[in-house]
Chain A
Amino acid sequence: EVQLVESGGGLVQPGGSLRLSCAVSGFNFSNYWMSWVRQTPEKRLEWVANINKDGSDTFYVDSVTGRFTISRDNAKNSLYLQMKAVSAEDTAIYYCVRPVSAYWGRGVLVTVSS
């Protein structure tokens, strides 16, 4: 059974940093591109970042470019999202996603507030 389990969310102050993790099981992680997608409190969905199979290529939506970094550790079956210089607009549920066959985790809440 494919499972994606996010962790690392919580309350962070504006300008602060946070690192999200996604533990994956049930499939050969190193064979798939992976992504992070977020959903705002207003229920708007935004595709945040993509990473290729070996982590050598990454893609970001303009709103997070230069602040967020997607990475992966294939030996640990894990996906990460390093978030820096966060603002209130980054408040959202962050989902770990395997685009092929569209598997989504349950999401982790990130709240940016002082």
Chain B
Amino acid sequence: DAVLTQSPLSLSVTLGQPASISCRSSQSLLYSNGNIHLSWFHQRPGQSPRRLIYEVSKRNSGVPDRFSGSGSGTDFTLKISKVEAEDVGIYYCMQGTFWPNTFGGGTRLEIK
């Protein structure tokens, strides 16, 4: 299975400041069709996970442009340009290139 390792485990950020989360895969996530099926999810307390980013850098409909994804091969990053209060919660990366799909362990973001 493709193991996804996220860092840091937790993040404390001042409102308006940037945040960055890393996701490293145990193997390249490049699919045979040239796509990389790496997504980012955000889960607020008491809610279901919500996808923010898919295929490394494409934002889901309705996702603010302060969220951006980048990376290739085995190393990926989610960036929040200016953290807002509603951004608290847990962030997960997920790969869909290989079965079974797998998730990173999560990064908890809190407001400082």
Binding site for B on A (CB under 8 A): 43-47, 50, 59-62, 95, 99, 101-102, 104-107
| CA A102 to CA B92, docked complex, whole Å | 14
B86-100 vs A: 1/0 string, CB under 8 Å? 000010101010011
Which chain B residues (57-107) contact chain A, with CB distance < 8 Å? 60, 90, 92, 94, 96, 99-103, 105-106
A-B contact count (CB 8 A): 38
- Which listed residue, A45, A99, A104, touches B96 by the CB 8 Å rule? A99
Contact B48 A105 (CB under 8 A): yes
| CA A101 to CA B63, docked complex, whole Å | 13
- Which listed residue, B60, B100, B106, touches A61 by the CB 8 Å rule? B100
Contact B39 A45 (CB under 8 A): no
Pick 19 A–B contacts, CB within 8 A, sort by A: A43-B106, A44-B103, A44-B106, A45-B49, A45-B103, A47-B94, A47-B100, A47-B101, A50-B99, A60-B100, A61-B100, A95-B48, A95-B49, A102-B50, A102-B54, A102-B60, A104-B50, A105-B48, A106-B48
Binding site for A on B (CB under 8 A): 39, 41, 48-51, 54, 60, 90, 92, 94, 96, 99-103, 105-106
| CA A95 to CA B48, docked complex, whole Å | 8
Contact A46 B48 (CB under 8 A): no
Give, as a whole number of angstroms, the nearest-CB distance from A34 to chain B. Answer: 13
In the assembled complex, which residues on chain A have CB atoms less than 8 Å from the CB atom of B90?
43
Contact A59 B100 (CB under 8 A): yes
Given contacts A104-B49, A104-B50, contact A47 B102 (CB under 8 A): yes
